[in-house]
Amino acid sequence: MTVAAAPHIPVLIEPLIAAVSPVSGVWLDGTFGNGGYTRALLAAGADKVIGVDRDPLAFEMAAGWIGDYGDRIETIAGVFSRLDEYGADLDGVVLDLGVSSMQLDIAERGFSFMRDGPLDMRMSQEGTSAADLCNDMDEGELADIIYLYGEERASRRIAKAIVAARPVTTTGQLAKIVEGCLPRAKPGQSHPATRTFQALRIAVNNEYGELAEGLMAAERALKPGGQLAVVTFHSVEDRMVKRFLQARSGNTANANRYAPEVAQITPAFRIEKRKAIGPDATELAENPRARSAKLRVAIRTDAPAQDIDPATLGMPMKKTKGGR
């Protein structure tokens, strides 16, 4: 496997560090990836960072530099939905959601329609792949996934074309199938396969389930005064984070009126900036990947941790029928 030589630029890293400063104590980076957030937290004053990632490649790639930090970095192969098992009384938790640049840049990992390779998409490199979903799923179930997780209105058409083309084994093959179902993209528009690839990746890696569980795990792991910082890249993720923080801060005034009613609680988080933080013009010019990124930060109180029903977060559930 080969990775592009260009250095990885962590999205929203400067506003994140500014928002959580002063940084001290023990932090947990639940999406270690290329180690960008971990190194930035250490440079800003953290005594130690626990780096968690389910992708074994993350720690292989860090082997050349991680030793420079001695025991200030502890690495754990795992999922951030279980982060409270990896650390307690934490001063901070950082989550950078979605797929990482290192995964997109390796054709063999099968995450990108821009690079032809096996249709894989497994962050952990274990379990069910995107090819398995495309080749084994019922057409209706496949349409539901593409509609719910990719918000793709042409999900039924795309699912029907995928089933007709089985076996579907490469990213290039899938991209062409989707392109044949949709109008050609105009200049400035995203690739026609963007939503379908996103949907399959989310399904393969249970990303929404991981996020719901990870937010609750962070609440359990943070000490009073500890900070939770989450970077999202699309509307569903941001909605889930926003609603979680609204519910757990006792501010449900703007919550979805159709969601199940949430009982009033003693706030477990305090939100100082209710509006999400986005990239500035300089970051957008240097890193186009940041264009859809949003950062939300909250501070843990001393209230007892509680679980929350994922349905209240606007988490897509497999019950809506696929689109046209």
Instruction: Specify binding-site residues for S-adenosyl-L-methionine.
Output: 35-37, 53, 80, 96, 103
98: its two tokens: 């979605």
> Between the CA of residue 127 and those of 130, 133, 195, what are the distances in Å?
10, 11, 22
59: its two tokens: 């720690």
Report whether the peptide linkage leading into residue 167 is cis, meaning its omega lies within 30 degrees of zero. yes
Binding-site residues sit at 35-37, 53, 80, 96, 103
Q: What is the DSSP letter of 108?
A: G
DSSP H or E run through 28: strand 26-29
| Interacting residues of 273 by C-beta distance below 8 A, sequence separation 6+ | 19, 297
198: its two tokens: 């996103």
281: its two tokens: 């013009």
